[in-house]
Amino acid sequence: MRQPVPSVPDLVAAQKPGHAMAQAFYTSPEIFEADRNAIFGREWLLAAHVSELRNPGDYVLFDLLDDSVIICRDADGALRAFANLCRHRGSRLCIAPRGNLRRFTCPYHAWAFNLDGSLFHARLLEDHHDRDALGLFPVALELLEGLIYVSLAKQPTDFAALRAALTPCLAPFDLARTRIAHRATYPVQANWKLLLENYNECYHCASAHPEFSRSHAIHMTEERVTPLNDAMQARAAACGVPTTLVDRIGQSRREGETDHAYNRYALLDGYQTGSEDGAPLAPLLGRITGHDGGASDAYVGMLNPMLLYCDHAVLYRFFPIDANTCAQEIIWLVHEDAEAGRDYDLDRLIWLWDVTTRADKRIVEANARGVASRHYVPGPLVPMEQYIARFITTYQATLTQQETTG
Amino acid sequence: MRQPVPSVPDLVAAQKPGHAMAQAFYTSPEIFEADRNAIFGREWLLAAHVSELRNPGDYVLFDLLDDSVIICRDADGALRAFANLCRHRGSRLCIAPRGNLRRFTCPYHAWAFNLDGSLFHARLLEDHHDRDALGLFPVALELLEGLIYVSLAKQPTDFAALRAALTPCLAPFDLARTRIAHRATYPVQANWKLLLENYNECYHCASAHPEFSRSHAIHMTEERVTPLNDAMQARAAACGVPTTLVDRIGQSRREGETDHAYNRYALLDGYQTGSEDGAPLAPLLGRITGHDGGASDAYVGMLNPMLLYCDHAVLYRFFPIDANTCAQEIIWLVHEDAEAGRDYDLDRLIWLWDVTTRADKRIVEANARGVASRHYVPGPLVPMEQYIARFITTYQATLTQQETTG
Amino acid sequence: MRQPVPSVPDLVAAQKPGHAMAQAFYTSPEIFEADRNAIFGREWLLAAHVSELRNPGDYVLFDLLDDSVIICRDADGALRAFANLCRHRGSRLCIAPRGNLRRFTCPYHAWAFNLDGSLFHARLLEDHHDRDALGLFPVALELLEGLIYVSLAKQPTDFAALRAALTPCLAPFDLARTRIAHRATYPVQANWKLLLENYNECYHCASAHPEFSRSHAIHMTEERVTPLNDAMQARAAACGVPTTLVDRIGQSRREGETDHAYNRYALLDGYQTGSEDGAPLAPLLGRITGHDGGASDAYVGMLNPMLLYCDHAVLYRFFPIDANTCAQEIIWLVHEDAEAGRDYDLDRLIWLWDVTTRADKRIVEANARGVASRHYVPGPLVPMEQYIARFITTYQATLTQQETTG
């Protein structure tokens, strides 16, 4: 049962290092409200892929909890993001999740806004109102290698250091010249932090993910993994795949920076990519010249992990719904010239992360039910769960900071 | 996302004149709770039509949120209203929404109450209990031209001034001699105040209601409307249709009075009533002798608008469900002698307000989703939205008054 | 509508003796939270029947609100109860509601626990952690005549006095040598206390339960009941059915004791058991040698009533879900050697309490809807509802005590 919820500072002060978090962080509606502001209202969020916005007037919506953001390409070809909100009486401006428009016209009273956000027309509005002050509210946007990120914060965290560090790692994959082969959403009856913690450790992979563990070396001990990684390094260099380690998460990053990381690790022998049989799944991405038998883990902010194989990329998005519900979305990217049926088989492409995410849904939901129990006590993390400890530290620091600075 | 909710007095103090309301009024569960008491627990509410209660023992239920009221005709022919609540352990007394009974017998322990509310029988109740004190709780009831209104308040607002002002306006339509041709309920994912605001302005009619705008002149500018209204006035006088303007809403009414209003306006040329083709829909109501090509807007209290055509009437009821949900009901009245199929075609009769209400549902739901956004800022109202400004003032004054006195 | 909720001590202080409770006890989410701890976190709860746990490794889950308890038979044959919770990151350990296992292995990271609760294996856990401190959390368990009760409290109330008093009453029925013939769950839209109050009085039986009233004398006045009971006493003595009156509920019990009661009363002439036609339903239980034409009401704790006929037993469980929802479960027990089809007809066996519980669902839901009304005032109880008054006193005392002692 729900225990009474102490204040966030008291809860953070009571956090035992190297242990999971207290129950309230995973169950309390009050802390979920704090998360809405401090985490989802502050972090950079993967909102769209550039392939969705090729032409002037193209737009897509990015919805998260009660907020909706219009991402569009304006008449001059620039990417822009606005709150999806008429400045008159607050109606959603765009209802359809994507489209191409000359301007945004409100379905309620037909106020119209240009693609640059300025007010085009407000019928019968008295002249004394300042039309320049009635443009759409801009939302911070960053484009990184074809991936479009937004932040709902008025003062978003710095993106420059992340861009400088990650661009060389991502550039050879040329994600801007990919397209979305598939997307799937998995609703999970669990707090979003339990999904993140699950994503942040591979201690569970051996027991819960036989399909993944057959091909990916990450769940093994260091002695077994090191020689595999060494062999991959040489192949990666030959294929043009970056293997630089970037680790700027939590305490490893500078004040005001955004979490970011990049790491390449070996697949097991016989596996060229994340496929069931080890064989390639799709044409090589970008400037990659061959299969190095590796996979890259990358992070853009706390909430946007991705996996890069030589022939496809897998992007994750987490959509919190309430204290006990979160949707997990997976987006599969392939080379923009690749055609389903001819160049890749969709079922084979999505097999690994579909089966793995379905298993994660089951175990994370069992985790959520357990942590809600009156008997729950946070247990000790093992060394292989070190990134959970770091996630907890980063999360709690962010939450506390937001609580004090407002 | 939900912003923290300041107190009602602070929110009211911060209300910008000529602008929509702050987010909390449209989204906060706390303010919804305040609304339950201050608005729905205080206002007069359209509960039934006299045609539903022709004979002694006839009853209908009027349910709103957690409350249920029995409206019945007692053995002497008088209309009465009681809380639908056994005085023993609080069970609902009547379960079926309507019927004819000699007395009300509780389904739980069979306590029985007479149609005048007095306790008839309480099996095995000890003699020392005062049976006279165990009658049903009466609920305030007013009958106006066949329309039955109730108030859940112990001290309802004055109804006499409303009755005096509206009776001459309504009498020629003889609504007591109508019957309910149809009723339909439209659930809307929006706070009840967004539905009321929508009802209170026709600025959206031009863009959102092409069917209505083709026939009703109300959404046009004054220059266009005035000559149409002048022409209608003459026809109305000839047909016996009242055109008196009554405007006793908000600041225009006296202290302690109930909002009321009556206004007749012209339909566009070629339209005799609110039909798709302009042709009459049903036999003329009451003492009306011909089609004047007009429509009357009337208000009985803040929550009960109605529309009066020469051949039918359209009544609105709003049933709040929670901070983000409200059901809108429409009741169509025709002359009591009119027979479906012979004297009117039901599909034609309900066409206009069905299609219009479906469109309103869509736009009000888009409005609700937008005002919940963290970026929402109340925008400026245009002059054609003046009645929204008045609704806001009346609503906030009522809420504040109840907070301090009640 | 919901009235503002005073504090529990104020509400208890305002309780009028011999009347139903104030609205908040039946509707308030805050009081429901208090109930979770003070009542459901403290009382003994019927968790399983011994027939479900015959062999070492057998387990069943008992779930209530957010808590889950594993009841199992360990390798040495002893019954044990544990919180269904991995000590690592808090996952539910057992997902399937019943089974047979050599040990409990967590579906998340495969930590394994022995049937005695001790930690068997925690892969990669660093040596400095105290493995002895990482066993499953034990839950208090008592076995009474084949019925397994658990308490979620750290300091459960005394069970010894209850055992001493009830064992002689129950022993002749030999419930340990019965099996579960059927179980059925009835979800009810009402606070759990309204279900208990309903169970605690038979004032409603005459009007609401014609099937029950035809056969059971309990709803009649004392003059009619006494001669029937006297006749039954003689038959009971001859058949070996206990008729001792045990009444240790509320103020009748000693400080720190658990509520318990036993009482045998007569069926009406022609009824040998709780069947539609009065004829026996199944083979006689335990050491009972014939039909005495009676039924026993027994209570083990506040929440576990049961009915004992000569040929079957009926157990009740209440599963609160939220302030306005509770599931009621019925378990029918027959002699362990009885076979469906041969020795009893299942439809006949369950007929009475199925039809009665369906009727109770209807009337309790009507009660719940009524008590939520703004007009609700607790009414006077009649003498036949005396056990409700006692339930209220016991419940409120327990709640207040828990509030003050923590």
Profile chain B (406 residues) by mean pLDDT over runs of 10 residues: 70 95 96 95 97 98 98 98 98 98 98 98 96 98 98 94 97 98 98 97 93 84 87 96 94 85 95 97 98 97 96 98 98 98 98 98 98 97 94 93 57
Question: How distant is the Cα of B216 from the closest Cα of chain A, in angstroms?
Answer: 17
Contacts of C93 in chain A (CB under 8 A): 370
Contacts of C33 in chain A (CB under 8 A): 2
pLDDT of residue C205: 93
Q: Nearest CA of chain C to the CA of B239: how many Å?
A: 46
Is A291 in the same domain as A178?
yes
Mean pLDDT of the region C332-348:
98
**A contacts of B383 (beta carbons < 8 Å):** 124, 126
Q: Is A1 on the interface with C (CB under 8 A)?
A: yes
B18 in any annotated domain: no
Count chain B–chain C contacts defined by CB atoms under 8 A: 98
The helix/strand/coil state of C21 is coil
Partner-chain contact C380 B65, CB within 8 Å: no
Residue of A nearest to B194 (CA): A89
Domain end, chosen from C113, C142, C171, is at C142
Residue in A closest to B379 by C-alpha: A88
Q: How far is CA B73 from the centre of its chain?
A: 22
Task: Report the sign of the C-alpha dihedral through residues B216, B220, B224, B229, in that order.
Answer: positive
Measured between CB atoms, which of A87, A90, A137 is closest to B367? A90
Q: Are residues A267 and A328 in the same domain?
A: yes
The amino acid at A271: Y
| Contact across the interface for A370 and C137, Cβ inside 8 Å | no
ipTM of the complex: 0.94
Look at residue B38 and tell me if it is in a domain.
no
Report the share of chain A in percent with pLDDT over 70: 97
Burial class (CB in 10 A: 0-12, 13-18, 19+), B181: buried
The model's pLDDT over B122-177, given as tens digits with 9 standing for 90+, comes to: 999 999 999 999 999 999 999 999 999 999 999 999 999 999 999 999 999 999 99
User: Residue range A238-266: average pLDDT?
Assistant: 91
Do residues C203 and C338 share a domain?
yes
pLDDT at C102: 97
The residue of A66, A93, A104 whose CB has the most chain B CBs within 10 angstroms, and thus the best one to mutate to test that interface, is A66
Q: Does C406 fall in a domain?
A: no
**Over 50: is that where the pLDDT of C177 sits?**
yes
Q: Does A292 have pLDDT greater than 70?
A: yes
With contact defined as beta carbons under 8 Å apart, do B81 and B117 qualify?
Answer: no
CATH (domain of B123): 2.102.10.10
Cβ atoms of C379 and B134 within 8 Å: the answer is yes
Closest residue of A to C40, CA-based? A1
User: For residue A8, is it within any domain?
Assistant: no
Return d(Cα B13, Cα C361) in angstroms, integer: 48
**Residue B76 lies in domain:** 45-142
Pairwise CB contact (< 8 Å): B382 & A41: no
Structure tokens at B401: 């008054």
The pLDDT tens digits for C191-230 are 999 999 999 999 999 999 999 999 987 767 788 889 999 9
- Burial of B340-376, coded b for 16+ CB within 10 Å and e otherwise, reads eeeebeeeebbbbbbebbebbbebbbbbbbbbbbbbb
Find the CATH number of the domain harbouring A320: 3.90.380.10
Check CB contact under 8 Å for B2 and A36.
yes
Residues B198 and B249 in one domain: yes
Query: Which residue from C minimizes the CA distance to B65?
Result: C1
Asked if C150 contacts C141 with a C-beta cutoff of 8 angstroms, the reply is yes
Q: Give the pLDDT of residue B147.
A: 98
Q: Which neighbouring-strand residues pair with B332?
A: B182, B314
- Preferred mutation among A197, A374, A377, A388 to probe C, highest tally of C CBs within 10 A: A374
CA nearest to C84 within chain A: A370
Residues C136, C242 within the same domain? no
- Compare CB distances from C383 to B90, B122, B124 and report the shortest one's residue: B124
C36, closest residue in chain A (CA to CA): A1
- Is the same domain home to A293 and A206? yes
CB pairs under 8 A between A and B: 99
Question: Does one domain contain both B183 and B125?
Answer: no
Q: Does C369 touch chain B (CB under 8 A)?
A: yes
* Beta pairing partners, A83: A69
- Find, among B225, B147, B192, B197, the residue nearest to B392 by Cα: B197
pTM for the model: 0.95
Q: How far is C191 from chain B (nearest CA, A)?
A: 13
- Specify the pLDDT at position C402: 66
A240 C-beta neighbours (distance < 10 Å), count:
16
The reported pLDDT for the residue numbered C267 is 95
Chain A: nearest CA to B38, how far in angstroms?
24
In angstroms, the separation between the Cα of residue B151 and the nearest Cα of chain C is: 12
pLDDT at B224: 84
Asked whether residue C26 is domain-assigned, the answer is: no
What is the arithmetic mean of pLDDT over C294-300?
A: 97
Confirm or reject contact between C206 and chain B (CB < 8 A).
yes
Q: Please report, rounded to a whole number, the percentage of residues in chain C having pLDDT higher than 90.
A: 91
Number of separate domains in chain B: 2
Query: Please, are residues B41 and B152 in contact by the beta-carbon 8 Å criterion?
Result: yes
Residue B252 in contact with partner chain C when CB distance is under 8 A: no
Mean pLDDT of A158-180: 97
d(CA C5, CA C28): 7
Of residues C383 and A221, more confidently modeled: C383
Token pair 């040990």 is found at C103
- Is residue A219 in some structural domain? yes
**pLDDT over 90 at A256, yes or no:** no
User: Looking at the structure, do residues C240 and C314 belong to the same domain, yes or no?
Assistant: yes
In a mutational test of the C interface, the residue from B67, B91, B105 whose CB has the highest number of chain C CBs within 10 Å is: B91
- CB burial of residue C378 (10 Å; 0-12, 13-18, 19+): buried
Nearest CA in chain B to C26: B90
Q: Are residues A174 and A113 in the same domain?
A: no
pLDDT at residue B199, rounded to an integer: 96
Q: Does C29 contact B at CB distance below 8 Å?
A: no
Residue B29, chain A, CB below 8 Å: the answer is: no
Residue B1 lies in a domain: no
CA distances from A79 to A76, A161, C10 (A): 9, 21, 61
Residue-level length of chain B:
406
- Pick from B40, B66, B151 the residue to mutate for testing the C interface (most C CBs within 10 Å): B66
Residue A12 lies in a domain: no
Q: Quote the CA–CA distance of A208 and A225 in Å, as a whole number.
A: 19
Task: Please identify, among C97, C112, C142, the residue that sits at the C-terminal boundary of a domain.
Answer: C142
Same domain, A91 and A190: no
One domain for residues B259 and B389: yes
Which residue, B142, B167, B195, sits at the end of a domain? B142
Minimal C-alpha gap between B259 and chain C (Å): 24
In sequence order, the β-bridge partners of residue B144 are: B147
Q: What is the mean pLDDT of chain A?
A: 95
State percent of chain B over pLDDT 70.
97
In terms of domains, do A227 and A342 share one? yes
